[in-house]
Structure 1
Amino acid sequence: MRSFVISLFTTAQILITQSRMIARILILLIALLTLPAWGIDCLVLRNKWPRWGRLLFALPHLLLLMALTFTAINESYTMTADAVKGFLLSATLCLVVPETLTVLLLLIGRIGKKQKFFRRSMTVLASLVGALSFMMMLYSFTLGYKRIQTKQFTFTHPSIPPQFKGYRIALISDLHLGTLRHHQDVVQQIVDSINVQQPDLIIFVGDLVNYHVREIEPFRNILSQLKARDGMVSVMGNHDYLTYFRWNNTAERLAAVRQLQQEERNMGWKLLLNENLILHRGNDSIAVIGLENHGNRPSFPRRAKLQQARKNLSPNCFQLLLQHDPSYWEAQILPNTDIPLMLSGHTHAMQLQIGKWSPAAWFYPQWSGLYQQGNQALLVNPGVGEVLLPFRFGAWPEIDIITLDSPLAH
């Protein structure tokens, strides 16, 4: 009886939590899909368009709101549901972002009510910004996530042995294969772009999937084509622990995680789970240390065991650390170690970057590119895939090529 009451109480708590979450999501969706559209109707359409025209303008907003409400209430964690959510959210953003910017500029124009030139100028500007932002969103959803670029970095450090001067490492992260499930051509382009660089080593720093190990199936043969002299090394990202899928029990999830890990090994990848790998060139060697994910929030897995991963390493050996989450650098590496270089991903640069700014900077001090402090450095890869939404603008999918340079070899 006692266990039944506890079970009933736990179920009730889960339902209440889910209900609150759905309510918050619905309130946000209603606000996003109604307020900007209502603003345009009041400021532009009401006195100029016939009623049927205004209803036609409102129709896509109403349909999207109904579809999103149904999806939120009937939340499902299947890959099909993920695809539907991605499409609906993409369509919503294509409407909401241009409309919001348009309304804001129109309201600014209303401030100068008596200044006709200013008001007309702001109206023209609002129209241009609305049209340009719509085209930007459309480009980001249709082509932006396919615009793969390669960046070159050189890292010099006194502990890099002479035989590793010119050693080239290809770094990628965050494939999120579930989002690219219908785009094998994009993954093939990523693989070809890496192979053409002829790197000595390829490193993947986590988030192979979104929710489920099944996402790997269409891409096994493509990802098995990755070639480097010293092979392919990988670590786990927060999504790779499959905690975002609704499993029947923990044992089922853990079995799926083990299957995912085996999938990587079957593709010829060397998966490091708080382990190290020694690479040799002649009489010289360097160590690649692979940590499990260790996030900066309790909802992210925290499984890194740095001391275990560095076991039996010579203190004079150049150490290259792999950790999915870049926040680990400031939290653990800088204050506690002298590890020269850490490679990370995770941030995606929020899949949006304008100039040198990205909203990712609100959450991560180090969100893309190379950061240095003294003799230690962190390189954050903004990812080659996308989570949930196939969207990128400015923060294009990126392959990083790191060339090691040894001052001792000069």
Structure 2
Amino acid sequence: MIARILILLIALLTLPSWGIDRLVFRNKWPRWVRLLFALPHLLLLLALTFMAINESYTMTADAVKGFLLSATLCLVVPETLTALLLLIGRIGKKQKLFRRSMTVSAYLVGAFSFILMLYSFTLGYKRIQTKQFTFTHSSIPPQFKGYRIALISDLHLGTLRHHQDVVQQIVDSINVQQPDLIIFVGDLVNYHVQEIEPFRNILSQLKARDGVVSVMGNHDYLTYFRWNNTAERLAAVRQLQQEERNMGWKLLLNENLILHRGNDSIAVIGLENHGNRPNFPRRAKLQQARKNLSPNCFQLLLQHDPSYWEAQILPNTDIPLMLSGHTHAMQLQIGKWSPAAWFYPQWSGLYQQGNQALLVNPGVGEVLLPFRFGAWPEIDIITLDSPLAH
């Protein structure tokens, strides 16, 4: 991963700092101050280059890469904003008041953004929120009025391997809601099945009347690790699937589960991951998963990747509700905007088109970097409402 973005990282670590050196330090500060300012950039460049040349996918290497990227972002984001504002001030250098105000703004924005970055890396990913949604549809049977579903996605346990308290908080926050059903829509790990080990007992504590139902996410196929051969990877995937079953989860692999309340029933359909890009697994078999289902039965579809909704569900089916994850809202949200919108039209929250809806959970974990700002870790509680029961 580092190798693929190394040129970008080099640019981020050199250009803003070079601009600040030219605009602030040059001809004004002693050389040792300038060297001291450049030192952390040089150390990060050397470390990142070493990691790129010696790319490794072990859990230790994953932790080192996460630390280096976190340190890089904490440095370059404030510096980039500061350098841009200082440069704007220089453009209007004949207007002393404008230049002075831009200089003060540059330092304030730089300091504030540095504090925000530190918060996001130290506390933001622990700020777990619970959101409530109500879904009404004519096919929901009366006995399922008030049925409560807890939805989570994207735990990425490898990123949280030193933060068992965070995963315990997630589990406790779900259990206190007393849901009828808990749904996990994929990406349990980053690279390795071994990431589950420190959390096995914690995740086994998830409790709901109808249990925990899960599906596979793109990371759960373990394709981001360099295996010796395909057979070795597939054996690890089967081990991951068994780990979920051993925790008491019902893993659905292109199959369905019927839930009953009295004489009424609903169907939960679990699809394997099906991404919108060639490098994502495309293993969904919708027709197979819906086999033997009554057309009048309320169907709840689980699919890790939300792009499947527009690509397959809306044009080809009348499935009322699909639950997804995957986007993380890019772990960054400012107001109602997230960079995830550049890649996914549906990236967080509830989307409706006609009588069909999609709920995208922004995840409770983080991939590689323990960082979140605005797009806080989220547990969604969906309450079903039946107009037939009114």
Which interval holds the TM-score relative to the shorter structure?
over 0.9
Which digits, 9 at most, give the CA deviation of each residue in 1:233-264, with x for residues without a partner? 00000000000011110000000000000000
Paired position in structure 1 for 2:387: 407
Paired position in structure 1 for 2:191: 211
- Percent identity between the aligned chains? 96
Contact 1:148–1:397 (CA under 8 A) maintained in structure 2: yes
Which digits, 9 at most, give the CA deviation of each residue in 1:289-348, with x for residues without a partner? 000000000100000000000000000000000000000000000000000000000000
Paired position in structure 1 for 2:210: 230
Matches within 5 A, 1:178-327: 178-327=158-307
Contact 2:303–2:324 (CA under 8 A) maintained in structure 1: yes
Contact 1:144–1:396 (CA under 8 A) maintained in structure 2: yes
* Structure 1 residue 171: Cα displacement: 0.0
Q: In 1, distance between residues paired with 2:55 and 2:127?
A: 32
Q: In 2, distance between residues paired with 1:23 and 1:193?
A: 38
Q: What is the SS of the residue equivalent to 2:55? A: coil
Which digits, 9 at most, give the CA deviation of each residue in 1:72-128, with x for residues without a partner? 000001010000000000000000000000011111111111100000000011111
Q: In 2, distance between residues paired with 1:250 and 1:320?
A: 33
Paired position in structure 2 for 1:356: 336
* Structure 1 residue 354: Cα displacement: 0.2
Q: What is the SS of the residue equivalent to 1:122? A: helix
RMSD across aligned positions (CA): 0.9
Q: What is the SS of the residue equivalent to 2:2? A: helix
Q: In 2, distance between residues paired with 1:315 and 1:402?
A: 23
Q: In 1, distance between residues paired with 2:99 and 2:357?
A: 51
Contact 1:289–1:310 (CA under 8 A) maintained in structure 2: yes
Contact 2:3–2:55 (CA under 8 A) maintained in structure 1: no
Which digits, 9 at most, give the CA deviation of each residue in 1:336-366, with x for residues without a partner? 0000000000000000000000000000000
Which digits, 9 at most, give the CA deviation of each residue in 1:26-75, with x for residues without a partner? 32222111110000000011133211111001000000000000000000
Contact 1:290–1:322 (CA under 8 A) maintained in structure 2: yes
Q: In 1, distance between residues paired with 2:339 and 2:8?
A: 19
Contact 2:2–2:48 (CA under 8 A) maintained in structure 1: no
Q: In 2, distance between residues paired with 1:262 and 1:156?
A: 35
Paired position in structure 1 for 2:23: 43
Q: In 2, distance between residues paired with 1:171 and 1:201?
A: 9
Q: In 1, distance between residues paired with 2:2 and 2:174?
A: 42
Question: TM-score when scaled to structure 1?
Answer: 0.94
Moved more, 43-52 or 249-258: 43-52
Q: What is the SS of the residue equivalent to 2:82? A: helix
Paired position in structure 1 for 2:5: 25
Question: TM-score when scaled to structure 2?
Answer: 0.99
Moved more, 90-99 or 22-31: 22-31
1:53 aligned onto 2:33: yes
Classify 1:206/1:65 alpha carbon distance in 2 versus 1 (closer, same or farther; 3 Å). same
1:85 aligned onto 2:85: no
Classify 1:22/1:64 alpha carbon distance in 2 versus 1 (closer, same or farther; 3 Å). closer
Aligned length: 390
Structure 2 residues without counterparts, runs of 5 or longer: none
Q: 2:136 aligns with which of 152, 156, 167?
A: 156
Which digits, 9 at most, give the CA deviation of each residue in 1:187-211, with x for residues without a partner? 0000000000000000000000000
Contact 1:342–1:377 (CA under 8 A) maintained in structure 2: yes
Q: In 2, distance between residues paired with 1:26 and 1:335?
A: 40
Q: In 1, distance between residues paired with 2:278 and 2:89?
A: 45
* Structure 1 residue 25: Cα displacement: 3.2
Contact 2:347–2:360 (CA under 8 A) maintained in structure 1: yes
Classify 1:124/1:22 alpha carbon distance in 2 versus 1 (closer, same or farther; 3 Å). closer
Q: In 2, distance between residues paired with 1:29 and 1:102?
A: 18
Contact 1:25–1:72 (CA under 8 A) maintained in structure 2: no
Contact 1:207–1:239 (CA under 8 A) maintained in structure 2: yes
Contact 2:213–2:252 (CA under 8 A) maintained in structure 1: yes
